[in-house]
Amino acid sequence: MAEHGTVAVTGVTGALGSRVAARLAEQGVPQLLVGRSPERLPELPAAQRRGPAAYADAEAMRTALEGAETLVLVSGHRTGRRLEEHATAVEAAIKAGVRRVLYVSLVGASPIATYLNARDQWLTEQFLAGAGIRHTILRAGIYTSTPAALADEDFVVRGPGGDGRAAFVTHDDIAAVITAAALDDQYDGATLEITGPEALTLDEAVTRIAAATGRPYRYEPETFEQAFAQRWRRGVSGTQIETWISWYQAIARGEVAMVTDVVPRLTGAPATAVEDAAWWPSPNTARGIPTRQGES
């Protein structure tokens, strides 16, 4: 097997970053696992745990990234300063001698995207374009697991998604593409849109999730007014309500319906259908859902 330079991976305690790190470890690639809580980072072959390092902490990030050739930058959470945090991390990487950045963005990233997170991602893409470092943009599609996580305790997924479609894609497929890109510099300067094999309505996707899990998941469309009222009663913050509604509306408007060949082209395997996904989260586990005590 060809030797590869050290790859630094962020977001390793999350569902996507953990899969990227595990795949790189299987390939024998030396890694730096970077996080705010090093004790939570996994122990993997040929991997060092680095931190504590938050994206906004320039010096901590520079120290954590020392020795890396490539950085896989998994997008941080929406804080209102996501661009500034990502820019700080990239500038720290450059000072540490990192030569390439692979940034995990979102399908449909645009300054006028309906989904608010996709607007944030576009800003970071623009920053990278002028940062003077080799980079690849990996635009991940809507996660296959998200509808299941958004379901309530009765397995009902409610939202103003209408009859729009999305090409739901698994974390495993996204991780496989990221790993392939990390090990092949032919994708420098590329923007790769990572999608599932077909575009489904939320009703179709949730029906398939029900069949795959044996649980009674179902989708119920809502109006904007119903979507707001239902979430407000559950103690969800206004910012999170706005973000969630924009997610459903991006689907309703067809902004995440594209189907690409990126998964089979980079991995050599077909993209995974919704019903064949290997992992399902529990209901009420999407980010921002409050606890039963009403704590967000």
Q: Tens digits of per-residue pLDDT, 245-272?
A: 999 999 999 999 999 999 999 999 999 9
Structural domains of the chain, count: 1
Check if the beta carbon of residue 127 is closer than 8 Å to that of residue 75: no
C-alpha distance from residue 190 to each of 103, 138, 185, 248 (Å): 11, 8, 10, 28
∠ at Cα 264 (261, 269), nearest 5°? 155
With cut-offs at 50, 70 and 90, classify the pLDDT of residue 283. Answer: very high
Residue 81 placed within a domain: yes
> What is the pLDDT at residue 104?
98
Pick from 41, 252, 204: which is nearest to 8 by CA? 41
> What pLDDT, on a 0 to 100 scale, did the predictor assign at position 14?
94
Has residue 65 been placed in a domain? Answer: yes
Query: Given a cut of 70, is residue 292 above it in pLDDT?
Result: no
User: Is residue 255 a part of any domain in this protein?
Assistant: no
CATH of the domain at 37: 3.40.50.720
**What are 256's two structure tokens?**
């995440």
Residue 112 lies in a domain: yes
Residue 133 CA to residue 103 CA, distance in Å, equals 12
Largest alpha-carbon pair distance within the chain?
A: 57
Q: Give the global pTM.
A: 0.95
Tokens matching residue 7: 């790859």
So what's the pLDDT on residue 16?
Answer: 97
244 part of a folded domain:
no
Is 210 among the domain residues?
no
In tens, the pLDDT along 71-102 reads 999 998 888 899 999 999 999 999 999 999 99
The string of pLDDT tens digits covering residues 102-154 is 999 999 999 999 999 999 999 999 999 999 999 999 999 999 999 999 999 99
Amino acid 82 reads R
pLDDT value at residue 289: 56
pLDDT for position 79: 85
Is 89 part of a structural domain of the chain?
Answer: yes
Over residues 144-181, the pLDDT tens digits come to: 999 999 999 999 999 999 999 999 999 999 999 999 99
Cα separation, 288 vs 139, in Å, equals: 22
Residue 189's domain spans which residues?
7-144+168-194
Is residue 91 a part of any domain in this protein? yes
pLDDT at 80: 87
Instruction: Report the sign of the C-alpha dihedral through residues 106, 109, 113, 116, in that order.
Output: positive
